[in-house]
Amino acid sequence: MAYELPIDPTIYERALRIAERDGLAVDAVLSRAVSSGLADAEISEQELMHHLEASLRENDNLYRKLAQ
């Protein structure tokens, strides 16, 4: 399956070097990189929500006073 997506030439060249080094297709390297980046983003969202919920619990009285 071919996709025509704009990609920074520097990133493409890095992916191509990795693909050649590891004996992989460049699209496999790019897919792995995107998948990893998405996983990192999801973890960051989960961490953010964890900290937000903790702050709401710990500072409930303050937030209620500020809302008045």
Let me know the angle formed at the C-alpha of 6 by 2 and 12, rounded to the nearest 5 degrees. 80
CA dihedral 35, 37, 43, 48 (to 10 degrees): -140
Confidence of residue 1 (pLDDT cuts 50, 70, 90): low
Q: Which residue has the higher pLDDT, 29 or 1?
A: 29
pLDDT in tens, 3-62: 666 888 899 999 999 999 999 999 999 999 999 988 888 888 888 888 889 998 998 888
The whole-number pLDDT of residue 3 equals 61
